Chains A and B, each alone.
Chain A
Amino acid sequence: MRFVERLKVFWQSLFIQANWNYERMQNIGFLTALLPALPHVTRDSREQRRIAGRHLEYFNTQPYFASFIIGNTISQERSRLEYGLPGEEEIKKAKINMMGPFAALGDSLFWATLKPFAGLVAVFLVLVYQMKTAPLVFLILYNVPHLFTRWWGLKKGYEQQFGVIQSVFNLRCQTLIKILKMMGLIILGGSLPVFAARVGWSIPEYVNYHLLLLIFTVITLFLSLLLRRGVSPMWLLITLFLGCVLIF
């Protein structure tokens, strides 16, 4: 696939959820992302229509990791027309088999780890140092791995027809998740004394600062325990607000 074609597919893949629907989820977005690569697969317009028709089926995965599947599908369709293998059913099955694991991996890496981590760094910069360019830091921290995954996924998905799973495995996503969680916990632990100190700066001299730190830490740990037990943050927020109004 030429650079320009890959760029076009990349651009279209940014819209993969533009027509997100309950019936077939990202199907229209997936098909639209394939369209710029169809001339690369075949020049026959009737064949192009047949291929497009087969990819209007159900499709749903994590939008960034969808790039691997898009690249892989283009490569498999081309191979089918050139060598007769894999068959149409195999291409469909390969797509379905990749959707679930990639969705789980992408969700846990991007939604559940990188997004909160980048958010934590930005919030730390705003609330602790009052840094005005914190949103920019957040966007850079998040989008460098994001755009890399989309672009590299498209490339590897296309190049490594049957080795695409191995390519994703080579990214060591679980390792990255673990490191981000470790570093996130360091920032969280390091935030407790700072936020407690913020409280301390605005109260009278006679209040014991260390007691204040202890109280703030205990409250945070207690709230964390409640959240881990499944209590909704919304209810905690409302209870905290009402508690403050009633007690003070």
Chain B
Amino acid sequence: MLTEIVSACFIGALLGLDSVSFGQFQLSRPVVTGAVIGYCLGDYFNGLLLGALLELIWAGSLPIGGHVPPDVTLMGILGVIWLIMISKMTGWNINALMVIMTIIVIPIGHAGNSSEVWLRRFNNRLIAKAGNYLEAGDFTGLYRLKWWGLLFNFTRILLLLLVFVLPVHWLINWWGEPLRQGGEILLNGQLAIPLKVYYYLLPALGLAALMSLFYRRDLSLFMWGGFIWGFLLIWVVKMDVLWYTIYTLGLVLTLVPVIYLLVVKKGIEWR
């Protein structure tokens, strides 16, 4: 298990580079990292599920003004590693654990932010180095600098992951049995119903976060239109979820390029 966990940390650190250092292909978003890390640790679907929950909750959070949201990349990677590692080692209820993870990873996200601030300050030194390479006419040195940047960021993410993952692994190894029993009593007993209710309310918070981001008074009709569409198909017609997904996303994803091309063809800017 330890080898798998350390490998997952390495892969997580590699994926984490995407958020700032390389490409920004969004390979570092929780919905992607959750699936990849889940696959590495042998539980693809639960990894994807936690990733999707974190994506939903934090997708609407943007660094605007003084508000800096926690580092979603680190939260996604660490949350999934913890989830699968703890559930496999202790046998705790994975659904209950998943719900707890959405809360526990928040401070880690803030730790990720602080370390990134430190890294950006550290990178200031590279400007002088770039100047020296320029003076010497060494363009290869300049190209090399980006690999150093990548290496520093990779080390930062990897160290953070290892610092938070390995002690938990050792803790469970040492006190495995009492932890397993205590957790089972708590998660399947007193906390079972609150965690279930919280699990069902989580999407409400995620949807609310995205609503607050997308909502405009002049577009509110579209939201209520979608609501009535969903209500009719799911609650009245009792349509199968598969067909509902196909109809809804098929309609929406076709309309985006069609309306866009029509408006662009007319040559107007539609604000």
Is residue A125 contacting chain B, with contact meaning CB distance below 8 A?
yes
Do residues B263 and A175 form an inter-chain contact, with CB atoms below 8 A?
A: yes
Do residues A220 and B204 form an inter-chain contact, with CB atoms below 8 A?
A: yes
Main secondary structure of the interface of A (DSSP, over half): helix
Do residues B226 and A189 form an inter-chain contact, with CB atoms below 8 A?
A: yes
Give Cα distance in the complex from A126 to B128, angstroms.
Answer: 47
Give Cα distance in the complex from A51 to B216, angstroms.
Answer: 46
Give Cα distance in the complex from A226 to B224, angstroms.
Answer: 19
Q: A63-B24, A192-B230 are in contact. List 4 more A-B contacts (CB 8 A).
A: A52-B134, A185-B219, A190-B229, A236-B205
25 A-B residue pairs with Cβ-Cβ distance under 8 Å, sorted by A, are A20-B21, A20-B120, A27-B127, A56-B131, A112-B213, A113-B214, A119-B31, A123-B52, A125-B245, A131-B245, A138-B31, A139-B26, A175-B264, A175-B270, A175-B271, A179-B260, A183-B256, A186-B252, A187-B248, A189-B222, A189-B225, A189-B226, A213-B231, A216-B204, A238-B106
Is residue B93 contacting chain A, with contact meaning CB distance below 8 A?
no
Interface residue ranges of A206-246 to B (CB < 8 Å): 209-210, 213, 216-217, 219-224, 226-228, 232-234, 236-238, 240-241, 244-245
Give Cα distance in the complex from A189 to B212, angstroms.
Answer: 13
Give Cα distance in the complex from A190 to B250, angstroms.
Answer: 13
Interface string of B219-248 (1 = CB under 8 A from A): 110111111111100110000011011001
Do residues A31 and B255 form an inter-chain contact, with CB atoms below 8 A?
A: no
The residues of B with any CB-CB pair to A shorter than 8 Å are 20-27, 29, 31-32, 34-36, 44-45, 48-49, 51-53, 55-62, 67, 69-70, 102-103, 106, 120-121, 123-124, 126-127, 130-131, 134, 137, 139, 142-143, 145-150, 153, 191, 193-195, 197-198, 200-216, 219-220, 222-231, 234-235, 241-242, 244-245, 248-249, 251-253, 255-256, 259-260, 263-264, 268-271
Give Cα distance in the complex from A20 to B117, angstroms.
Answer: 10
Stretch from A67-75, A84-92, A194-202 at the B interface: A194-202
Do residues A188 and B223 form an inter-chain contact, with CB atoms below 8 A?
A: yes
Give Cα distance in the complex from A236 to B60, angstroms.
Answer: 14
The residues of A with any CB-CB pair to B shorter than 8 Å are 12, 14-15, 17-24, 27-29, 31-32, 35, 38, 45, 49, 52-53, 56, 63-64, 111-113, 115-116, 118-132, 134-135, 138-139, 141-143, 146, 169, 172, 174-176, 178-195, 197-199, 202, 209-210, 213, 216-217, 219-224, 226-228, 232-234, 236-238, 240-241, 244-245, 247-248
* Chain A nearest CB, measured from B11 CB (Å): 14
Q: How many A-B residue pairs have CB under 8 A?
A: 337
* Chain B nearest CB, measured from A58 CB (Å): 10
Do residues A181 and B214 form an inter-chain contact, with CB atoms below 8 A?
A: yes
Do residues B60 and A233 form an inter-chain contact, with CB atoms below 8 A?
A: yes
Cβ-defined partner of B226 (8 Å) among A113, A121, A190: A190
Do residues A20 and B235 form an inter-chain contact, with CB atoms below 8 A?
A: no
